[in-house]
Amino acid sequence: MPSSIKALQLSRSTVERSNEAMAEDLTQQLWKDIADFSLQLDESVSDTAQMCIFIRKNLFTDIASNREVSSRGEDIFQSFKNFTEKTQLPVYKLMSITTDGAPAMIGCLNGFIVKCRQDGAFPDFLSYHCIIHQQVLCAKMPNMKEIMHVATKMAGSIRARSLQIWLLHAHLENADCVHTEQGLLHT
């Protein structure tokens, strides 16, 4: 064994300090390198609010899984604010926030979104309602059956005439459309 390996300090506290220093350095490099990030928040059914921060496909669960906060917008905002200060997350790189539409998230006085917009450290960001909730609301539309009926009739009309199919495929290819195969008109 080389003497440099034999001379390494391998006590528990030394290794722990070394790991913490490397983790801190990696976190700082990530914060420096990220172009932007988004938040997605959802009020849980338990008494603990949960929050995840997605940054370049990396998931940081430290903020939600290790911190218990109430499901009030003010508390969630304060928890997030404390996290950003502790980790030096560049809040000015925030691009969007997606929520489930709960009052704690979008309340007009004390909701998380309002608190973020009122804080001077936050940039102008987009706020969205969760796509799953939007799909549920869209599916409940009473005229959706009528829309599907018209779309099915149009697809059937195009499929019934070979010239129409040929013209549709030519149009889709000219528009550089990805879906140019026969399955496009499946009813």
Q: Where are the domains of the chain?
A: 34-138, 143-185
List b or e across 89-111, with b for residues whose CB sees 16 or more CB atoms inside 10 angstroms: bebeebeebbbbebebbbbeeeb
Q: What is the mean pLDDT of residues 165-180?
A: 76
Rg (CA), the chain: 26
Q: How many other CB atoms are there within 10 angstroms of residue 64's CB atom?
A: 21
pLDDT digits (tens, 9 = 90+) for 121-156: 899 998 887 766 666 666 666 676 777 788 788 888
| Fold designation for 34-138 | Nucleotidyltransferase; domain 5 (3.30.420)
Cα–Cα distance between 89 and 33 in angstroms, integer?
11
pLDDT score at 124: 92
Q: Is the pLDDT of residue 20 over 70?
A: yes
pLDDT score at 181: 59
The arrangement of strands across the sheet holding 50-55 comes to 58-60, 50-55, 37-42, 94-99, 126-129
pLDDT score at 107: 83
Record the pTM: 0.52
pLDDT digits (tens, 9 = 90+) for 47-78: 555 566 655 445 554 444 345 566 788 888 88
